[in-house]
Structure 1
Amino acid sequence: MQEKDFEELYAACAPRLVRAVYAVTGDLGDSQDVVNEAFACAWSRRRSFGEVDSPEAWLRTVAMRLAVSRWRRARTGALAWRRHGPPDPVPELSPDSVALVRALRALPEAQRVAVVLHYFYDLPLERIAAETSTTPSSVKSRLFRARASLEHLLTDPVEETTDVR
């Protein structure tokens, strides 16, 4: 199926499919999402999709199945929530934690990954090197540079005092 044909199919069928799914789900946003997901599925199979006898029927079937799957996931989630109750509250981050995360974001990705794997997960240099497809000496270098940058980023600026006489 050519792109132009697919666009025409979308323009012709999407409104009808949204109305049909909406009649089943009662949620317009979910209906639009499900229909778009069905069209995305058809687009990924566009070579064989052109051979389907009734493309709209195929899309409607896929959209309805997707809607049912969403409903089942939501129902299962609600049942689990009722069974286990709400999750434990997450403690607020301390100002130091916020400052650390902000400083880590300022680092280049390779340095940030090395710091997190080494200091948060206590991984040895060799393991970090294996996981990042680099050498242990590169990991050492990244950690050295990251520590230097973090020292600068996390140090409180020294207030200059003016000598008033």
Structure 2
Amino acid sequence: MRDAADFDEFYRATSGRLLRFGYAVCGDLTEAQDLVQEAYTRAWSHWRTVAGHPNPEGWLRLVVARLATDRRRRLQRWQGVLLRTGPPAVGEPPGEDTVVLVAALRRLPVAHRQALALHYLFDLPVADIASEIGVAVGTVKSWLSRGRAGLAAVLGEPAVAKEGDR
């Protein structure tokens, strides 16, 4: 029981029971699904060890129980902070300009949005963006230029080239 096919078979044989166990432990189906998914992820990453365990399903149940305990403790700490500090201030809804800009950005290709966000929101130079994304500097310059042109077209404003992108 040490390869992917064995893991798949183990998963099919145990996942229903483990989900029911997770639900019983935490009392919330969505939370139980998250706990079980994390447990199986950990089992897969240590599958050789888990497969050799005398009770692999018991190992998974222990992981689910520990994950549930950890999450419960984190929530209790968070609730303690909220009791001491009060709830966070209610944020203002986004302004009309923000809504329009976000809608326009969503119409651009992902690469253009990413380049624009890194350049204008994080103030990264073109060379740093290229290094972070793993593309040529010229590609980033092109994405920035096309992204600005796309925004201008969507927003109805003339595109203006930026000196630093040349």
Q: Please give the TM-score of this superposition, normalised by the length of structure 1.
A: 0.73
Secondary structure in 1 matching 2:88? coil
Describe how 1:50-89 pairs up with structure 2 within 5 A.
50-89=51-90
Contact 1:129 1:136 in 2 (8 A): yes
| Range with bigger deviation, 46-55 or 69-78 | 46-55
In structure 2, do the counterparts of structure 1 residues 129 and 52 end up closer, same or farther at CA, with 3 Å as the change threshold?
A: closer
Secondary structure in 2 matching 1:50? helix
Task: For structure 2, list consecutive stretches of 5 or more residues without a partner in the other structure.
Answer: 158-166
- Residue type at the aligned position of 1:14: L
Contact 2:116 2:147 in 1 (8 A): yes
Name the count of aligned residue pairs. 151
- Is 1:17 aligned to residue 21 of structure 2? yes
In structure 2, do the counterparts of structure 1 residues 42 and 94 end up closer, same or farther at CA, with 3 Å as the change threshold?
A: same
Q: What corresponds to 2:146 in structure 1?
A: 145
Bigger Rg, structure 1 or 2: 1
Encode CA deviations 1:127-154: one digit per residue, 9 max, x unaligned: 3333333343333322222222111100
| Range with bigger deviation, 94-103 or 135-144 | 135-144
Contact 2:19 2:36 in 1 (8 A): no
Describe how 1:22-37 pairs up with structure 2 within 5 A.
22=24, 25=26, 27-29=27-29, 30-31=31-32, 33-37=34-38
Sequence identity (%): 38
Task: For structure 1, list consecutive stretches of 5 or more residues without a partner in the other structure.
Answer: 157-165
The whole-number CA distance in structure 2 between the counterparts of 1:121 and 1:5 is 46
Q: What is the CA-CA distance between 1:93 and the residue it aligns to?
A: 0.9
- Is 1:108 aligned to residue 114 of structure 2? no
Q: What is the CA-CA distance between 1:39 and the residue it aligns to?
A: 4.0
Q: What is the CA-CA distance between 1:117 and the residue it aligns to?
A: 2.2
- Is 1:130 aligned to residue 145 of structure 2? no
The whole-number CA distance in structure 2 between the counterparts of 1:123 and 1:39 is 39
RMSD (CA atoms): 2.7
